A and B are shown apart, each in its own frame.
Chain A
Amino acid sequence: MSGPRETEGRDVVLRVENVWKNYHGHHVLRGIDLSVDSHEVVCLIGASGSGKSTLLRCVNLLEFVDDGVIHLDGEEITDVRADPDDVRKRIGMVFQSYNLFPSMTVLGNITLAPRKVHGVGRARAEEEARELLERFGLADKAGAYPDRLSGGQQQRVAIIRALATRPRLLLLDEVTSALDPALVGEVLEIIRELKATGMTMVLATHEMGLARDIADKVCFLDGGVLLEQGPPEQIFTEPRLPRTREFLRRVLEARRV
């Protein structure tokens, strides 16, 4: 398997090369190239339907690419012989709609993967889960069922659940979109804290404020093409392409209520 992990002294966690994906002949991703270094935070921005979620789902092998390759830590995960379950063990994913398991308590949700996938003993898994809950201000919710939590609390639990397996890479798909503005802040706080601890993350987001604040690199997707990428200062203040400028103008206008 090819794909040098160390390039120019950088530690590349994720490398996406010329990835194509189509649904029923409709091309959703058109030759995406993207590279994510260790401890780097990458934000995917772009209009609805531009392919942000699809790209994340391809990285997590929830969808199979139609062409191109994806490397995780130098190993080709799009290889047909690669074990998807093994790849997903190393990648955490958080969804827009939380997707907590309603039949389990918060603690059950968080400890499921460590116990069943990573073979951690129950006592230790629960202890670690409680530590995480404590750290993110949810210690009193350990025994609660998801339907008794607010949206913001559910999303924070979903993030903790993804963290509990100590993933190499965390994918976050519009984790604040379903939330009341009052609850957005508490979720953003967690993401900032994760960045501070050096977690490697790829986020699809409509929150330009978040992208500006925490991204090391912002990628603008348009119709399945990664049109422009660069540091947030550059993308938000002097985008090179007219398409990018147009998109940002519209987003900021829409937000100016």
Chain B
Amino acid sequence: MTHPSGGGTADAPGSPADAYGALADAYGALADAPGDYSEGGWVKSDRQRERERLRRRRDLRSSSVATVSTVVFVVLVVSVVTASPGWPRVKETFFDLGQFTGAFPDVLAGFLLNIKIFLIAEPLILVVGLLVALVRTLHAPVFFPLRALAVLYTDVFRGVPTILVIYLVGFGLPALEIQGVPSDLATLGVIALTLSYGAYVAEVFRAGIDSVHPSQRAAARSLGLTQGQAMRFVVLPQAVRRVVPPLLNDFVSLQKDTALVATIGPLEALRQAQIHAADTFNYTPYLVAALLFIALTIPMARFTDYLAARSQRRRGA
């Protein structure tokens, strides 16, 4: 430790404040010279060994209880379902192996379009959301129209169901026949999803910005940083870090909502599954699509959990 010790020198001797100073000195001395406890001499006591043995046994018992109860639960569910009177028919229409392998290539190809839509929409949504959230923090009077527009945007697009936005954009935009408006169905889907999710994400960012304590802004301003600089260098970095878990959650939901784009027609996973199902009156292709979506969202969901747990740990530390 390099700090100079003792706060007591500030006081005139004999003053009442001196007693306080002496206390500070005493504390300071303790902090300066931590005891010299070498670790070499430590031998694990019998009590500690016993404690660790009991702890291991308890852990083993809990994991075996968990395993047994899981197995019992699964067996129970499977036997109830397979014993039901309609099961042979359901098995035929939903779990047909031949249908599964037959539909898989097409549905997978469609699913690649879902991923493409997702990957393009996601950064666009982040940009829109962040911009709208920032516009709402501008307080200069010149920006009033912009700010009002941002409020109107979030109000409208959070209120309208995503599937309606997709219909309106998918069928309405091209109908305007404006030069330069894309007519590609997947592109229109991306636009619709961006509009809809941008409003949610803007609110998430705004909540993150509001959650940064005002004293941080005061400290930044007191250093001479302008409002914009304080936002960019001090507030935003903290806000963004805090909203990562809720944002990832929104993106899990975006991944599956790419299937809503099927309603305006592009050949993505759900649309491909519909085509196959319509040909054969067998619903197994839907199962294929569902499994593909799950395969994509589960890793994302686990990652979100991991990040949330990590930030929880950090705050607890």
| Interface flag for A103 (CB, 8 Å) | yes
| Interface flag for B280 (CB, 8 Å) | no
Instruction: List residues 1-23 of chain B with CB under 8 A from any CB of chain A.
Output: 2-12, 15-21, 23
Q: What CA separation (Å) do A214 and B11 show in the bound complex?
A: 10
Asked if A88 contacts B223 (CB within 8 A), the reply is yes
Chain A positions within 8 Å of B, measured between CB atoms, are: 57, 60, 62, 84-86, 88-89, 91-93, 95, 97, 99-104, 112-113, 116-118, 137-138, 152, 156, 161-162, 165, 176, 180-186, 188-189, 207-210, 212-214, 252-253, 255-257
Closest CB in chain B relative to A105 CB, distance in Å: 12
| Interface flag for B31 (CB, 8 Å) | yes
Residues of B within 8 A of A88 (CB): 221-224
Asked if B19 contacts A257 (CB within 8 A), the reply is yes
| Interface flag for B312 (CB, 8 Å) | no
Main secondary structure of the interface of B (DSSP, over half): helix
Asked if A209 contacts B223 (CB within 8 A), the reply is no
Asked if A209 contacts B7 (CB within 8 A), the reply is yes
Q: What CA separation (Å) do A207 and B224 show in the bound complex?
A: 28
Closest CB in chain A relative to B245 CB, distance in Å: 17
Asked if A102 contacts B238 (CB within 8 A), the reply is yes
Residues of A within 8 A of B224 (CB): 85-86, 88-89, 113, 117-118, 165
| Interface flag for B137 (CB, 8 Å) | no
Closest CB in chain A relative to B308 CB, distance in Å: 18
Residues of B within 8 A of A253 (CB): 16
| Interface flag for B241 (CB, 8 Å) | yes
Residues of A within 8 A of B8 (CB): 185, 209
Quick one: given A116-B229, A181-B7, are A101 and B216 in contact (CB under 8 Å)?
yes
Give the contact-size bracket for chain B.
35 or more
Residues of B within 8 A of A97 (CB): 215
Chain A, Cβ-Cβ closest to B317: A147
Give the top 10 A-B pairs by smallest Cβ distance, nearest first.
A182-B27, A99-B219, A185-B7, A137-B2, A186-B3, A89-B224, A209-B10, A113-B223, A209-B11, A93-B222
Residues of A within 8 A of B226 (CB): 85
Asked if A184 contacts B221 (CB within 8 A), the reply is no
Query: Which of B3, B27, B28, B225 contacts A117 (CB under 8 A)?
Result: B225
Closest CB in chain B relative to A67 CB, distance in Å: 23
Asked if A257 contacts B20 (CB within 8 A), the reply is yes
Chain B, Cβ-Cβ closest to A102: B238
Asked if B241 contacts A181 (CB within 8 A), the reply is no
Q: What CA separation (Å) do A116 and B221 show in the bound complex?
A: 12
Q: What CA separation (Å) do A156 and B2 show in the bound complex?
A: 13
Asked if A103 contacts B223 (CB within 8 A), the reply is no
Asked if B17 contacts A209 (CB within 8 A), the reply is yes
Q: What CA separation (Å) do A165 and B223 show in the bound complex?
A: 8
